[in-house]
Amino acid sequence: MAQYSGRRISVGIFKQSKRDGSIKPMKLGVTIHNLKLKNPVMVASGTFGYAQEFSRFINIKKLGAIITKTITKEPRKGNPPPRVIETASGMLNAIGLQNEGIENFLKEKLPFLRKLRVPLIVSIGGHTTQEYVELAKMLGEAKGVDALELNISCPNIAHSQRLVSQDADATAVLVAAVRKATVKTIITKLSPNVSDIASIALAAQDAGSDALSLINTFLGMSVDVARRRPKLGNVTGGLSGPAIKPIALRMVWEVAKAVKIPIIASGGIMNAEDALEFLICGASAVSVGTANFVDPRTSLDIIKGLETYLEKNKINNINSLIGSLQI
Distance CA 264, CA 123 (A): 13
DSSP-assigned beta bridge partners for residue 237: 220
- Backbone torsions φ then ψ of 261, nearest 5 degrees: -95, 160
Distance CA 311, CA 290 (A): 28
DSSP-assigned beta bridge partners for residue 191: none
Distance CA 41, CA 284 (A): 10
Distance CA 125, CA 108 (A): 19
* Spatial CA neighbour of 124 closest among 139, 109, 110: 139
DSSP 8-state code for residue 46? T
Query: Catalytic residue among 92, 120, 138, 154, which?
Result: 154
Is the peptide bond between 9 and the residue preceding it cis, with omega within 30 degrees of 0?
Answer: no
Distance CA 158, CA 235 (A): 9
- Backbone torsions φ then ψ of 265, nearest 5 degrees: -100, 145
Q: Is 281 a catalytic residue?
A: no
Q: Helix, strand or coil for residue 264? A: strand
* Spatial CA neighbour of 76 closest among 41, 104, 100, 50: 100
Strand 120-124 vs strand 285-288: parallel, antiparallel, or unpaired? Answer: unpaired
Q: What are the DSSP E strand ranges found in 126-270?
A: 147-151, 185-189, 211-214, 218-221, 223-224, 229-230, 236-240, 263-265
How many CB atoms lie under 10 A from the CB of residue 193? 19
Q: What are the DSSP E strand ranges found in 120-255?
A: 120-124, 147-151, 185-189, 211-214, 218-221, 223-224, 229-230, 236-240
Active-site positions read: 154
